[in-house]
């Protein structure tokens, strides 16, 4: 997958398991009317921005609570991400070598 901040409403997707004759990136446009989040937004072709992801996040949380389901990602998911980030920081601190740039 590839995401470009200059093309906020698109996602590039490549499936490496496809045969060579069908291989390549696909452009997924998230402003098409059948996208699950578009029911609450304006007509296709109008851009959605970074700030709209927070609206979608709140929507997912409220729907999960209303359905009696565990919201995803969960607190446990967030904790695992923080553990990985802490391990990355620790590894970088232990294994990095600072080489000053000569001026």
Distance CA 35, CA 64 (A): 18
Q: What is the pLDDT of residues 6-43, one digit of tens each?
A: 887 888 999 888 888 888 889 988 777 777 777 777 77
Confirm whether pTM is higher than 0.85.
Answer: no
Residue 3 in 3-state DSSP?
coil
The gap between the terminal CA atoms of the chain, to the nearest Å, is 40
Q: What is the pLDDT of residues 48-87, one digit of tens each?
A: 777 888 888 898 899 999 999 999 888 999 999 999 999 9
**Kind plus residue range of the DSSP H or E element containing 25:** strand 25-29
Quick one: 9 exposed, middle or buried, by C-beta within 10 A (0-12, 13-18, 19+)?
middle
Domain definitions of the chain by residue range:
10-93
């Amino acid at each position: 997958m590839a995401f470009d901040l200059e093309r906020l409403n698109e996602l590039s997707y490549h499936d490496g398991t496809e045969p060579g004759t069908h291989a390549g990136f696909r452009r997924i446009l998230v402003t098409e009317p059948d996208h699950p989040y578009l029911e609450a937004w304006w007509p296709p072709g109008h851009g959605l921005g970074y700030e709209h992801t927070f609206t979608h996040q709140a929507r997912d949380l409220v729907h999960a609570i209303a359905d009696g389901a565990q919201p995803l990602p969960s607190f446990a998911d967030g904790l695992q991400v923080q553990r990985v980030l802490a391990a990355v920081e620790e590894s970088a601190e232990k294994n990095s070598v600072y080489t000053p740039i000569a001026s």
